A = this chain, B = another copy of it.
C-alpha cells in the first residue's frame, strides 16, 4: 500500500496506472503533472488524479511511488528536474517502449547516486486512442510488463515493482535493455513502421479514397496500429532505429522471396511457404498470465 502516487505525464499509460492502483486499493492519493495544463486539468476532472501538480518535481515530492509516462525523448530532461528526489524510499518507474535509450538517459540524468533507485519498466499494453480520456483501470490486466533492471539497481525496488504490477494482474518478466530492444523492434516497432508505410501508400494514391471505401476487416485489423500516437512513435522509431532497420531488412528479404515466387509463377513453392506461415500463425497465441485472461486475447 502506497501513500501517494506521482504521475508525470497524465496520458493513457499514466492515467490507466493511476486508475488501476486506485481500483486495487493500493494508493491513497494520486498527484499528477502533465506538460500541458489542460491535460492535467482533464485528468483531475475525470478523477484519474486527485491533485494537479504544477511541475514534475511537485508531483514527485511526497510520493512513495512515481510513474514517468512521457514520450521517451523527454525522459532525460524530466529525470534531471526531479533527480534529487529519486531515492530508494520511492519506487520510481517509467513505461517507455524502448529501454536502451531510457537507461542511458537515466545514467546521464541521475548519476551514480540516484540511478539505483530507478526501475526501468515497459508494460506491453496500449490503445490506438491516446489521451487521458481513454485511461482504463483494466489496461494492464492480463498483460506482460518487462523490467530491465541494471546491475546497479536496488534489488528491493525491483521486487516492489514486480509486486505492484502483479497486483494489477500483469505478468512481470526481467531482461536486459538490449534484449528488450531487439525483441520489441521485431514484434512491435517494425509492425508499426510497416503499418504506417502501408496505410500511407494506399491513401496517397490517386484512387486511394475509392480503394479505402472498399477495404474490409482484414485491412481494418492490419492497419489498426497505424493510428498510434505520433510523438510516442517518433521517439520509439528514433531511439531504436538500429534494431528496427535490422528487422526491416529481414522483413524485406522475406518479402523478396515471396515476390520471386509470384514473379516466377512457382505456385507450389508459394503455397508451401504460405502454408508454413499460416500454420505457425494459427498455432501462435498471445501470452496471457494465469488468471489474467481478457476478452480480447
Which residues of chain A have a CB within 8 Å of any CB of chain B? Answer: 73, 124-126, 128, 143-144, 146, 173, 182-184, 186-188, 190-205, 207-208, 210-231, 233-235, 237-238, 241, 244-245, 247-248, 250-255, 257-259, 262-263, 265, 267, 270-278, 280-282, 284, 286-287, 296-297
Contact = CB atoms under 8 A, between A and B. Distances in A.
A211 B230 contact: no
A219 B188 contact: yes
Contacts of A195: 222
Contact of A281 (B194, B227, B263, B274): B227
A244 to B, nearest CB: 7
Contact of A222 (B183, B191, B200, B238): B191
B297 A201 contact: no
Interface residue SS majority, chain A = helix
Complex copy number for this chain = 2
Given A200-B273, A214-B146, A241 B262 contact: yes
Nearest to A193: B258
A94 to B, nearest CB: 18
A193 B199 CA distance: 14
Contact of A187 (B202, B247, B262): B202
B214 A184 contact: yes
Nearest to A204: B254
A217 B123 CA distance: 12
A157 B236 CA distance: 55
Contact of A255 (B146, B210, B216, B248): B248
